[in-house]
């Protein structure tokens, strides 16, 4: 289990140090407890934060002690353990902790951490007990860890907290009331692509999340449906053959998915229906990944010509590949330049393009672009002759964008709400659904 948790700033100074087990220091140098802890702290700083070579692995083993770290802007969160723990669990916990902290005080920055360090220690006491992760649901935590001083709670409230913390449904408290029952559902996807210069897809996948924000009274039971191929096929069996042929195109094959703890997994296993009692406020209902039949929103066509040793001509065409009625936003194309670039001239039809020397790339930005359009940029790159015989490695051209549909093809079919005790029905709930497709690592070789 996790032996200790440290938060560092970018200089490697420890902002938060919470040790749950004494074993973590012993591995490094056998000395007294206090000093050894210091050693664990130092070991991470020396070997990871200030490492000569940038450490890319999130797990580092130093003197038989494992350090798991995540980085948020300039802040390092490191979980330390001597045991052979489940690494996925540790990272899940670290991410959760980031979420909790963000929910409490906004952006994770050195300033915010220093201002809230009492709160952070309080949170750590609650969500990690002797190294074992505990309930880390923000909604639940907020009921008993507040940034305000402790109000003198009534006996009733206290017993409510107890029953909630120990009860079956830890993520939702009872007696929530809203005047307007509202529900927001976002399908957020990021599409990853690697394409050859000739336009052949080398690898592509979409990782998506369904994020919900619920403002519902009582203890509602929800049911969520989407165009999952297995469900559609099962229904198609009952219906006509025509139906199944049609739905086959609309349904998607999900490679794997994970759910929020509120989802009844037994029901998903048996009927593949997603039913749950939602937490209050914002949460992530599910995560999934697909690899088949992905709609690629953009196609990048690169053309690179080397003119002698001192000049390079680059032409890049992008084509949008979705319904003309939709608009893509925040488009950015990044064209890497050779390391011996001494000057660049760019001409583009649309948007703005600039050579950024600090990043060794030409960055072309377009604010908006409708579907089924194309645009192009051409650049002349001057090179400084070097005595290095190494050829330029030609890194891929990468792209960023945001489109208002789900590139995986996922569609929300229904989201039903049942609350038998309170008298509002499914029809009374106001529901909002939104699809956002973003680029992940979206690269084309040139």
Partner 1 sequence: MPAVSKGDGMRGLAVFISDIRNCKSKEAEIKRINKELANIRSKFKGDKALDGYSKKKYVCKLLFIFLLGHDIDFGHMEAVNLLSSNKYTEKQIGYLFISVLVNSNSELIRLINNAIKNDLSSRNPTFMCLALHCIANVGSREMAEAFAGEIPRILVAGDTMDSVKQSAALCLLRLYKTSPDLVLMGEWTSRVVHLLNDQHMGVVTAAISLITCLSQKNPDEFKTCVSLAVSRLSRIVSSASTDLQDYTYYFVPAPWLSCKLLRLLQCYPPPEDGAVKGRLVECLETILNKAQEPPKSKKVQHSNAKNAILFEAISLIIHYDSEPNLLVRACNQLGQFLQHRETNLRYLALESMCTLASSEFSHEAVKTHIETVINALKTERDVSVRQRAADLLYAMCDRSNAKQIVAEMLSYLETADYSIREEMVLKVAILAEKYAVDYSWYVDTILNLIRIAGDYVSEEVWYRVIQIVINRDDVQGYAAKTVFEALQAPACHENMVKVGGYILGEFGNLIAGDPRSSPLVQFNLLHSKFHLCSVPTRALLLSAYIKFINLFPETKSTIQEVLRSDSQIRNSDVELQQRAVEYLKLSSIASTDVLATVLEEMPPFPERESSILAKLKKKKGPGAVSVNELEEGKREGGELNGGGERGDNSAIAASNASTPSPSADLLGLRTGPPVTAAAPSAGSLLVDVFSEAGVNDDGFLRDLEPPTESSDSLLAEGPGDSDSAPPSVVSEDPATPLPESNELLNKFVCKNNGVLFENQLLQIGIKSEYRQNLGRMYLFYGNKTSVQFITFTTTVTCPGELQSQLNVQSKPVEPLIEGGAQVQQVINIECLTDFSDAPLLNIKFRYGGALQNLTLKLPVTINKFFQPTEMASHDFFQRWKQLSLPQQEAQKIFKANHAMDTEVLKAKLLGLGMALLENVDPNPENFVCAGVIQTKAQQVGSLLRLEPNAQAQMYRLTVRSSKDTVSKRLCELLAEQF
Binding residues: 352, 354, 356, 365, 367
Least distance in angstroms from the C-beta of 388 to partner 1: 4
Nearer to partner 1, 74 or 147 (CB): 74
> Is the CB of 245 or the CB of 343 nearer to partner 1?
343
What's the min distance (Å) between Cβ of 338 and partner 1? 10
Q: Provide the binding-site residues for partner 1, judged by CB under 8 A.
A: 10, 52, 54, 74, 339-343, 357-360, 382, 384-388, 390
Burial of 40 (0-12, 13-18, 19+ CB in 10 A): buried
Shortest gap between Cβ of 425 and partner 1 (angstroms)?
53
Nearest-CA neighbor of 219 among 419, 441, 435? 419
CA 211/CA 275 separation, integer angstroms = 15
> Nearer to partner 1 by C-beta: 175 or 308?
308
Q: Please identify, using beta-carbon distances, which residue of 201 and 384 lies nearer to partner 1.
A: 384
Measured at the alpha carbon of residue 4, what is the angle toward residues 117 and 286, in degrees to the nearest 5? Answer: 80
Q: How far is the CB of 52 from partner 1 (least distance, A)?
A: 7
Work out the number of other CB atoms within 10 angstroms of the CB of residue 434.
12
Q: Which residues pair with 1 in a beta bridge?
A: none
Residue for token digits 């893509």? 328
Which of left, alpha, beta for 263 (phi over 0: left; psi -120 to 50: alpha)?
beta
Which CB, 339 or 433, lies closer to partner 1? Answer: 339
68-104 per-residue burial string, b: 16 or more CB within 10 A, e: under 16:
bbbebeebbbbbbbbeebeeeebbebbeebebbbeeb
CB of 253 to partner 1, least distance (A): 38
Angle, helix 117-127 to helix 87-105, in steps of 10 degrees? 140
């Amino acid at each position: 289990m996790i032996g200790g948790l440290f938060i560092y700033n970018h200089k490697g100074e420890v902002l938060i140090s919470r040790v749950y087990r004494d074993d973590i220091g012993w591995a490094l140098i056998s000395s007294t407890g206090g000093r050894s802890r210091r050693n664990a702290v130092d070991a991470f700083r020396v070997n990871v934060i200030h490492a000569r070579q940038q450490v890319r692995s999130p797990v580092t083993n130093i003197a038989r002690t494992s350090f798991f770290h995540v980085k948020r802007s300039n802040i390092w969160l490191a979980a330390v353990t001597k045991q052979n723990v489940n690494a996925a669990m540790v990272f899940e916990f670290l991410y959760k902790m980031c979420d909790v902290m963000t929910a409490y005080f906004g952006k994770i920055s050195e300033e915010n951490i220093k201002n809230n360090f009492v709160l952070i220690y309080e949170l750590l006491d609650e969500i990690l007990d002797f190294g074992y992760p505990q309930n880390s649901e923000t909604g639940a935590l907020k009921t008993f860890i507040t940034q305000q001083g402790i109000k003198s709670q009534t006996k009733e409230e206290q017993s409510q907290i107890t029953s909630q913390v120990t009860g079956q449904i830890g993520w939702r408290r009872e007696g929530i009331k809203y005047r307007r029952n509202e529900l927001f559902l976002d399908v957020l996807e990021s599409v990853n692509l690697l394409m050859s210069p000739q336009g052949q897809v080398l690898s592509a996948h979409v990782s998506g999340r369904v994020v919900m924000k619920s403002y519902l009274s009582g203890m509602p039971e929800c049911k969520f449906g989407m165009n999952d191929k297995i469900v559609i096929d099962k229904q198609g069996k009952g219906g006509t053959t025509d139906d199944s042929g049609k739905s086959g195109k609309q349904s998607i094959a999900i490679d794997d998915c994970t759910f929020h703890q509120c989802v009844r997994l037994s029901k998903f296993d048996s009927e593949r229906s997603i039913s749950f009692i939602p937490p209050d406020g914002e949460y992530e209902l599910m995560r999934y990944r697909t690899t088949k039949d992905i709609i690629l929103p953009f196609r990048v066509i690169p053309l690179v010509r080397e003119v002698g040793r001192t000049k390079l001509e680059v032409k890049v065409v992008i084509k949008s590949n979705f319904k003309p009625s939709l608009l893509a936003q925040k488009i950015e194309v990044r064209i890497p330049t050779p390391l011996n670039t001494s000057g660049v001239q760019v001409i583009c039809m649309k948007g703005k393009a600039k050579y950024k020397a600090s990043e060794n790339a030409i960055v072309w930005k377009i604010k908006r672009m409708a579907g089924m359009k194309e645009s192009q940029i051409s650049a002349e790159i001057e090179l400084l002759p070097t005595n290095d015989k190494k050829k330029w490695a030609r890194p891929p051209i990468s792209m960023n964008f945001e489109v208002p549909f789900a590139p995986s093809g996922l569609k929300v079919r229904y989201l039903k709400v049942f609350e038998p005790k309170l008298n509002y029905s499914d029809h009374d709930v106001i529901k909002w659904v939104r699809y956002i497709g973003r680029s992940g690592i979206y690269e084309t070789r040139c």
